Structure 1
Amino acid sequence: MTFPLSARRLCVLLITAACAALVPAHAAVAHPFGPPSTAKVGADGNRVTLAWLPAEDDWVALGRSVGAFEAPTTAADTSLTGEQKLARSTAVRDYLLAHVGVTQAGRPCAAELAPLERLLAEGARFSFECPERVVDVDVRVGALADLHEAYRTMLTAETPAEPAKALLTAEADTRRLRFDPSATGGTSLVAPAVALVAVLGVLAALLLRRRRYSDVRA
């Protein structure tokens, strides 16, 4: 059966439109259902450090959402890589500082975001200065979850904490961590205990030696 030329063109246009509608929709929901992003957190004294590392396509989704890849305004901008555009975007930095945070007793810890030049390899590296020595703090990682509810972040404590791991989601993007005081600049009881045992051992040896010396003289 031979279609008229106009009918064949119409069929091609309809099929093309259908494919165009399906492909972006599939791409838009592909990366949220992949492996969760990771966030490594540690504590030392009054400071909390956190490194958030999403996948490369998740960085792309974040950059697009804040306009980091918009048309270049200068000739120099045309030669920038996608990673460089993300690193130089103030909108990306503002987004990260707004969606990642630490609070202590309900008070936010002062946040500092390191330069993002190696964000694909090192992620976004934060430092939070808290009012007091870090023991109990609430850690929030809500980045990407506002773009799609399926995004998740696996939070892992690099210094001893309870819990050692936690999965953060769009519905629960904050988790309270209790860090071991002896591992965050506090006074550990392990070293004094070891020292006490050593001292007792030396004293016992001296007493035993003195007793044997007395027995020999007698």
Structure 2
Amino acid sequence: MILIKRALLMAVAAVIIAAQPALAHPFGPPSTARIGADGTRVTLAWLPAEDDWVALGRSVGAFEDPATGTDTTLTGEQKLARSTAVRDYLLARVGVTQAGRPCAAELAPLERLLADGARFSFACAAPVVEVDVRIDALTDVHEAYRTMLTAETPAAPARTLFTASSGAHRLRFDPSAASGVPLAVPAVALVAVLGVLVTFLVRRRRAGAAA
């Protein structure tokens, strides 16, 4: 009887230990994301860890049921990339709105999702200055999942944490940086105009002196 109890305890302990890695990551470092603005367009890349992609794929049914057999001709990354359920999930969980209106979303192919993440492009109605960004991917799988967003185009705030209880934040981009016109262009144009003006004045003075 004692041996049976010990065996049961060991079996329970083994199940708990085996389950811990699957539950640990939501409490580890957050997923990361990058955002930028150019003219009327916002670009955003969501970059979760590999096991987070697995959790997402399992939650939407992108993988086969092991009980019915597993397709070994495709990698897990390929199965995720080809899943319409994954694409629908991402488009539903990541979004940008401007003045209360959704910016049209486009999701790039997911062939290199482990390296490049999910790459979005949002077309807004007006030049992007102030927009509301929503990232609540994976928080439906576990409320401890978070995403740290970093602005690659100057914005306030420069870094923002998205959580289950705070899945949307407002970002204000630097109007000059998000206008689509590099700051160096006006400066170069001004220098060129001044150069032409100086040349004209010098030639005019020389012509007057010669007369």
Instruction: Please give the TM-score of this superposition, normalised by the length of structure 2.
Output: 0.83
Q: How many equivalent residue pairs?
A: 211
Alignment map for 1:136-151 (pairs within 5 Å): 136-151=130-145
Name 2:57's counterpart in structure 1: 63
AA in 2 matched with 1:18: A
Deviations 1:56-86 (A, max 9, x none): 11111111111212238x9993321111111
Give the distance between the partners of 2:205 and 2:7, measured in 1 at CA: 105
| Unaligned residue ranges in structure 1 (runs of 5+) | 1-5
- Among 50, 72, 81, the residue aligned to 1:87: 81
- Among 151, 162, 171, the residue aligned to 1:177: 171
Give the distance between the partners of 1:63 and 1:176, measured in 2 at CA: 29
CA contact (8 A) 1:151 1:170 kept: yes
Seq. identity, %:
71
- Among 8, 14, 17, the residue aligned to 1:19: 14
TM-fit CA distance, 1:183: 2.5
Across the aligned residues of Structure 1 and Structure 2, the Cα RMSD in angstroms comes to: 2.9
Going from structure 1 to structure 2, the CA distance change for 1:193 and 1:118 (only over 3 Å counts) comes to closer
Going from structure 1 to structure 2, the CA distance change for 1:187 and 1:13 (only over 3 Å counts) comes to closer
SS state at 2:72 partner: helix
Alignment map for 1:44-63 (pairs within 5 Å): 44-63=38-57
Structure number with larger C-alpha Rg: 1
Instruction: Please give the TM-score of this superposition, normalised by the length of structure 1.
Output: 0.81
TM-fit CA distance, 1:133: 1.7
Going from structure 1 to structure 2, the CA distance change for 1:47 and 1:198 (only over 3 Å counts) comes to closer
CA contact (8 A) 1:141 1:173 kept: yes
TM-fit CA distance, 1:30: 0.8
SS state at 1:133 partner: coil
Are residue 132 (structure 1) and residue 110 (structure 2) matched?
no
AA in 1 matched with 2:64: E
Alignment map for 1:1-218 (pairs within 5 Å): 7-24=2-19, 26-71=20-65, 77-185=71-179, 191-192=185-186, 195-196=189-190, 199-200=193-194, 203=197
Going from structure 1 to structure 2, the CA distance change for 1:210 and 1:86 (only over 3 Å counts) comes to closer
TM-fit CA distance, 1:198: 5.8
